[in-house]
Structure 1
């Protein structure tokens, strides 16, 4: 399980009593990959799902395929991935490192 700086729900760095919080970060890595557009990570410019592009696409299979590819590239094993009619994304994935 990777550890990293903890992020809030708004993806800001979590600070408590003036200290950065550190903890298990799989979920926030997954969320960040889904929300990030290509080019947002300077070191890895081809990373990111850019889920916003798929909102009006009407093809949840394309979004699921992109999420699965990005997670595998990032070192995760994806057990299940479901996208509901309302756009809810349910993922069971974990890092194999």
Structure 2
């Protein structure tokens, strides 16, 4: 999906004085994973709050919530798993 891009500090990316537009699927996934429920005004049920959930060591619940939230966003999920070293694997694509 194409959308306005943001950088790692959640600031708008500018290119030649205009908004930069490009592939935005990864930044959308990051936003869903990092925000808490209630932070999206128009969709208060969206958000995983992964930092808080992982602090509670509820890994199975985290994976279920991630899968549910990304499917709600329109992704077809094949697999969500925690890999060695704490890396999150999300295998899926947007329809």
**More helix by percentage:** 2
The TM-score with structure 1 as length reference comes to 0.88
Q: How many residues align?
A: 95
Match of 1:18 in 2: 17
Match of 2:63 in 1: 64
The TM-score with structure 2 as length reference comes to 0.90
Distance 2:54 2:84 in 1: 11
Structure possessing the higher relative contact order (Cα contacts under 8 Å, 6 or more residues apart): 1
2:34 is aligned with 1:35: yes
The RMSD of aligned alpha carbons is 1.4
Which residues of structure 2 form unaligned runs of 5+? none
Residues 2-31 of structure 1 deviation map (CA, whole Å, 9 limit, x = unaligned) = 211011122221112211001111111111
Distance 1:70 1:51, change over 3 A: same
